[in-house]
Structure 1
Amino acid sequence: MSKDKVDIFDTTLRDGEQVPGCKLDAEQKLVIAERLDELGVDIIEAGFPISSPGDFNSVHEIAKLVKNATVCGLTRAVQNDITVAADALKPAKRARIHTGIGTSDSHIQHKFNSTRDKIIERAVAAVSYAKTFVEDVEFYAEDAGRTDNVFLAKVCEAVVKAGATVLNIPDTTGYCLPEEYGLKIKYLKENVTGIHKATLSCHCHNDLGLATANSIAGVANGARQIECTINGIGERAGNTSLEEVVMILRQHPTLGLDTDINSKLLYDTSQMVSQKMGMIVQPNKAIVGANAFAHSSGIHQDGVIKNRETYEIIDPADVGVNESSIVLTARSGRAALAYRAKLVGYELTKLQLDEVYQEFLKFADNKKEILDTDIHDIITATDLNIESVL
């Protein structure tokens, strides 16, 4: 079955870098940008050029460096923002200006002290001006998640007519439920005149832990771009996780969707971003966490040793992890102990294993995890005189 492509728009260097304490210097940004290009990201949002001279220079240097991906710069619906972004993006082989404005009643009233009609005017003016610099213009309707669908469709229709090539529908506050967000995308797909001229894009935040689910609901209902970050980093609780959406689409072929991401680079890229940003990846993080392919329960270990697929839906090698990890703890069984003992050179018979296992439990009750060196000590503590062949 042929699959529709979903573009991956990575905003690690823009939205991801807004995390307190995760500021990157120019050299670090270039290293990450080069890796994102190698990873197969379609669009790299390199920064917000108007925000500082440093951000301008980073976007400019990334635009010169990137060979394959489109390089994108963020702006507000402000003419000078757009002018500066266009200047920063001049060296790019493929450039995109990402401009927009808040569309929810909350933003219109409290942030802009404006009206719906004036917001549409500003949106159209921003897109029209950006089109004088680049062909590829993405419009974001900030707080689209809490924007009335009828008005949101009206805004989208106006900016598509003005030349927007991508419509970003952000769940800025992470408020939407997946069904709600999916239906919002479906509504726009069915009610915006000229929608065939633009790509609908999902930009979801994780305030309620639903960013990935919302993004998948979005593409299932017609969006064809997902905006995400490595490790799901970003404002507050973070953004949609790149590695999660990529592997969900790959593991669920019935969706008929896929990306061009080289998944074998996911783990290494995760580690690179974690190290350069000084932001630890939580051990239970899906796909790239230290425990994502680790098993410590005896029942799970026995199943994985017999057939990996009993408890793993992803081959670790597919995301760049060498192998599954059988972690020895007090909850481990004989199968796991025999497996790990064999790796360090001990081929135990059933009777030997029974005796070694009792000694193992004594050690395991006093340690969080049994290491390879401990296995030698455990076997030595018995009277079996078994020697390692390694």
Structure 2
Amino acid sequence: MRRVRIFDTTLRDGEQSPGVALNHAQKIEIAHALARLGVDVIEAGFPITSDGDFECVRRISREVRGPTICGLARTARADIERAAQALESAARSRIHVFTSASTIQIEHMLRKTPEQVIEASVNAVRLAREYTDDVEFSGQDVMRADFDFVIRLYRAAIEAGATVVNIPDTVGYGTPQEYGALIARVRDEIVAGRDVAISTHCHDDLGMAVANSLAAVENGATQIECTVNGIGERAGNTALEEVVMAIHTRRDHYRAETGIHTRELFRVSRLVSRLTGMPVQPNKAVVGDNAFAHESGIHQDGVLKHKETYEIMNAELVGREAAVMVMGKHSGRAAFRKALADLGYVTDGAADHGLNDDAVNVLFARFKELADRKGQIYADDLRALVEAGSEVQQTFALDSLQVLSGTHVTPTATVRLVTPDGTKEAAATGDGPVAAAMNAISAATGITPELETYRLQSVTRGSEALGEVSAGVRYKGVTVMGIGLATDVVEASARAWLHAVNQIVAGQARVKSTVTAETP
């Protein structure tokens, strides 16, 4: 079995998804989750793009242990030096240098000659090697490039000191046959006999990112670059969970393995979906709601008799235990703590990133409030409750919300908030009950963001299911994502708005990078 390394770029390429803006705390939370998942490399960001990106890469380098921490850089000296500075605290660091390989990008974006591109790449790799022994090199858009030039470019990068050569199909143009053939040529002509890894980075514009990545593995690639849920520029990237489970399930074919702890896949998927505000489609492989669901009578009969009749993977293997636990308003604190432990959330306060006693107490209060309204509480309810826990200090907390609305009534909302200075009440009207609640909170807090995106989804089962609202707001050039959870849609919306306001007050939001240069 060959070992295939997993290079996760959720925090860099994934965060470039339109509408996504993660703050520092959210990126740190995802980075720790990726470390628990067992990824080999975390591409933490593009340090030159902004002070916020630089600081986030530096924090991840300092706080996250296990994976190699990687920073992206163009072939410019300033980019490389900035990346090196951000990675100083990492136990293992990598600088990822990229340029363009296709004629169309070289002529119209870089405005250089092919020889100038090679010269700049060689100088950049040499400079990066002065800061770390682990340097990755990429030439964008290889599938629309002259393959002879690609070989010359990568040979020069290897001779300059590159330890990983990444072959990015940046615009998702290649087919598995073409892409696999190029990987084989790189393997045979310039990598054979050298201690150099071949990496794959595929986009999903034609729906072939996962297939192309697996074709690369068949032809000698030993690293796959991917994102959780396949998020990323345009149609997204290779989906981490899909390539990992394809390699695991078809070990007989690929003769390869990864170091991923597969039972963490579902939790990480849910975390990334929640923090980015990007829902996972129900029929998505491995992590979609329907991935292990059976409705056809024939399928149900077969699965009941023997799971493998229609299931090629075990749901528990990817962290999707059956929701058999039922709790209610009479459950005590000890039972609640045990339920969280059974779901994989650490509650003894000893783990660095588990739930401590204070966090459990806050969650228990929300659980009792929810149980009074909903009755039975299922495993999915508890997961949603934990995952909706705010990662920001609550300057303002919702004490009560009253809404008056109807067909011939102007929607009006009254809120009472708990603040460090006592309680505050305010009332406001709006086009609807949700808008009225948001306006009332803004009146009480003095913070009036602009709503950019709004998403509501049911996260649990039944007629009294929990509703989760993701509200993307903008305030003085800063974009944040507020998350709210409740059985009532208006209350969930108010909690999402308040969550966003607390982020703004806490100063944890950062301006999303506006760099327009295409990256691998």
**Fold conserved (TM > 0.5)?**
yes
C-alpha deviation, 1:196, in angstroms = 2.1
Q: Which residue of 1 aligns with 2:40?
A: 42
Cα distance in 1 for partners of 2:78, 2:134 equals 18
Aligned partner of residue 56 in structure 2, secondary structure:
helix
Q: Any unmatched runs of 5+ in structure 1?
A: 326-370, 374-390
C-alpha deviation, 1:154, in angstroms = 0.8
Q: Any residues of structure 2 matched to 1:151-162 within 5 Å, and which? A: 151-162=149-160
CA-atom RMSD, angstroms?
Answer: 1.5
Aligned partner of residue 271 in structure 2, secondary structure:
helix
Q: Which residue of 2 aligns with 1:275?
A: 274
Q: Which digits, 9 at most, give the CA deviation of each residue in 1:65-112, with x for residues without a partner?
A: 111100000011111000000000000000000011001111111112
Q: Which residue of 2 aligns with 1:301?
A: 300
C-alpha deviation, 1:237, in angstroms = 0.4
Confirm or deny: 8 A CA contact 1:243 1:266 kept in the other structure.
yes
> Which segments of structure 1 move beyond 6 Å, counting only runs of 4 or more?
none
Identity fraction in percent = 50
Aligned partner of residue 295 in structure 1, secondary structure:
coil
Confirm or deny: 8 A CA contact 1:100 1:142 kept in the other structure.
yes
Confirm or deny: 8 A CA contact 1:149 1:187 kept in the other structure.
no
Aligned residues: 326
Q: 1:212 is aligned with what amino acid?
A: V
Confirm or deny: 8 A CA contact 1:160 1:195 kept in the other structure.
no
Q: Which digits, 9 at most, give the CA deviation of each residue in 1:296-344, with x for residues without a partner?
A: 111111111111111110000100111499xxxxxxxxxxxxxxxxxxx
Q: 1:136 is aligned with what amino acid?
A: D
1:200 aligns with 2:203: no
Q: Which residue of 2 aligns with 1:318?
A: 317
Sort the Cα spacing of 1:195 and 1:26 in 2 relative to 1 into closer, same or farther, 3 A: farther
Q: Which residue of 2 aligns with 1:187?
A: 185
Q: Could you tell me which of 86, 90, 93 is aligned with 1:92?
A: 90
Q: 1:175 is aligned with what amino acid?
A: Y
Q: 1:313 is aligned with what amino acid?
A: I
Aligned partner of residue 294 in structure 1, secondary structure:
coil
Aligned partner of residue 174 in structure 1, secondary structure:
coil
Q: 1:278 is aligned with what amino acid?
A: G
Cα distance in 2 for partners of 1:193, 1:297 equals 50
Q: Could you tell me which of 27, 31, 38 is aligned with 2:29?
A: 31
Sort the Cα spacing of 1:28 and 1:35 in 2 relative to 1 into closer, same or farther, 3 A: same
Which structure has more helix as a fraction of its residues? 1
Q: 1:268 is aligned with what amino acid?
A: R
Q: 2:297 is aligned with what amino acid?
A: G
Q: Which digits, 9 at most, give the CA deviation of each residue in 1:251-277, with x for residues without a partner?
A: 111211010000000001100110111
Confirm or deny: 8 A CA contact 1:70 1:95 kept in the other structure.
yes
Q: Which residue of 2 aligns with 1:177?
A: 175
Q: 1:267 is aligned with what amino acid?
A: F
Q: Which residue of 1 aligns with 2:403?
A: none
Q: Which digits, 9 at most, give the CA deviation of each residue in 1:10-42, with x for residues without a partner?
A: 000000000111110000000100010111000
Cα distance in 2 for partners of 1:247, 1:142 equals 27
Confirm or deny: 8 A CA contact 1:15 1:235 kept in the other structure.
yes
Q: Which residue of 2 aligns with 1:112?
A: 110
Q: Which residue of 2 aligns with 1:383?
A: none
Q: Could you tell me which of 76, 80, 91 is aligned with 1:82?
A: 80
Aligned partner of residue 74 in structure 1, secondary structure:
strand
Cα distance in 1 for partners of 2:193, 2:120 equals 20
1:147 aligns with 2:160: no
Cα distance in 1 for partners of 2:120, 2:160 equals 11
TM-score (norm: length of structure 2): 0.61
Q: Which residue of 1 aligns with 2:65?
A: 67
Q: Which residue of 1 aligns with 2:224?
A: 226
Q: Which digits, 9 at most, give the CA deviation of each residue in 1:40-74, with x for residues without a partner?
A: 00000000000010000000000011111000000
Q: Which digits, 9 at most, give the CA deviation of each residue in 1:129-153, with x for residues without a partner?
A: 1111111000011111212221111
Confirm or deny: 8 A CA contact 1:153 1:188 kept in the other structure.
yes
Q: Which residue of 2 aligns with 1:101?
A: 99
